[in-house]
Amino acid sequence: MIIVSIFGGLGNQMFQYATAKAVAKRLQVELKLDIQHVIDRKFRKNFTYRNFELSVFKLDDKIATEKEVRHYIPNLWNTNKIILQFYRIKRILTGRKLYHEKKKFIVNQDIFLIKDNTYLYGYFQTAGYFENIREDLLSAFELKTTLNEANRDLLSQINTENSVSIHIRRGDYVNLAFHLLSMEDYYLKAINLICEKVTSPSFFIFTNDYEWVQEQFLDIPIKMTIVKINSTENTAHLDMILMSQCKHNICANSSFSWWGAWLNQHTEKIVIAPQYWTDTPEQNKITENHLIPKEWIKI
């Protein structure tokens, strides 16, 4: 059995699931999901609490019980060095393993050496871990429920036009001091590039900051729709589904829009992604080579 820790937002949870699914399929063993960290509501300073968001998809994998998880690890977010050492010894005696991602945004080659009875913990943000099971993941990440009328109407428009999704993430990125993408240096360049390559493009803008988008795009002469129908927390995943149905994609430096583009099955799709994903030059070099697929255009 493989158990994977699920935490973070929807995009992060999808990376974790996809990587663990690839490991479990290679080993031909059962996969279970540890959701303890997304249901944990202990106080943490400057922390964004999340929910288990993968439940919207057609996953057939079971949730690990706390007892099953405790065979491998304590609560990694609420423990001390003595308990961690106790669990190291316990794993040695029982033959179980903990795989902790060593470097982010990069393919850690030792993951392909993982054996059965391993607990996975990390972000695993690169398709290099799971590209070989793409068809399985396309099926797994289908919605359990049908779209409501408003989303069906918008999807019909997306399907009948040369649709291009633009994802603009601000909100928590502003408050948490994440790398914010420039309107001039990124989005306008990406839009101009699409206009050069696509006949009569129609842009669909997905964002968590409608006021900023309306102000920034006020005088830009393009055909566009600012998508506002999925503004609540429990419907945000529908934006990802709509992005994936667009013919082309302009991504933010966000795992959410990364998945919207990766799930896009149009064979002639153009995907534009930011070359600089973070504020750290060393990490930017890694993301450019591992996180962003080679066929995507980097700006």
How confident is the prediction for the chain on average, in pLDDT?
92
Tell me: do 25 and 87 sit in the same domain: yes
Tell me: do 9 and 98 sit in the same domain: yes
Tell me: do 166 and 282 sit in the same domain: yes
The model's confidence at residue 276, banded by pLDDT at 50, 70 and 90, is confident
| CATH number for position 282 | 3.40.50
Look up the domain containing 46 and give its range.
2-139
Question: Where a domain ends, among 112, 139, 166?
Answer: 139
Q: Which residues sit opposite 272 in a β-bridge?
A: 250, 297
Tell me: do 154 and 24 sit in the same domain: no
Question: Where a domain ends, among 139, 158, 184?
Answer: 139
pLDDT digits 0-9 by tens, 56-66: 999 999 999 99
Question: Where a domain ends, among 104, 124, 139?
Answer: 139
Q: Any idea which residue has 């649709």 for tokens? A: 163
Domain count, the chain: 2
Burial 187-223, CB ≥16 within 10 A → b, else e: beebbeebeeebeebbbbbbbbeeeebeebbeeeeee
Tell me: do 155 and 278 sit in the same domain: yes
The yes-or-no verdict on residue 40 having pLDDT over 50 is: yes
Q: What is the mean pLDDT of residues 207-223?
A: 91
pLDDT digits 0-9 by tens, 88-122: 999 999 999 999 999 988 999 999 999 999 999 99
Q: Are 188 and 150 in contact (CB under 8 A)?
A: no
Tell me: do 70 and 27 sit in the same domain: yes
Tell me: do 115 and 175 sit in the same domain: no
Residues 125 and 111: their CA atoms lie apart, in Å, by 13
Q: Are 169 and 254 in contact (CB under 8 A)?
A: yes
Per-residue model confidence (pLDDT) at position 288 = 67
pLDDT digits 0-9 by tens, 156-191: 999 999 999 999 987 554 444 456 788 888 999 999
The model's confidence at residue 208, banded by pLDDT at 50, 70 and 90, is confident
Tell me: do 77 and 55 sit in the same domain: yes
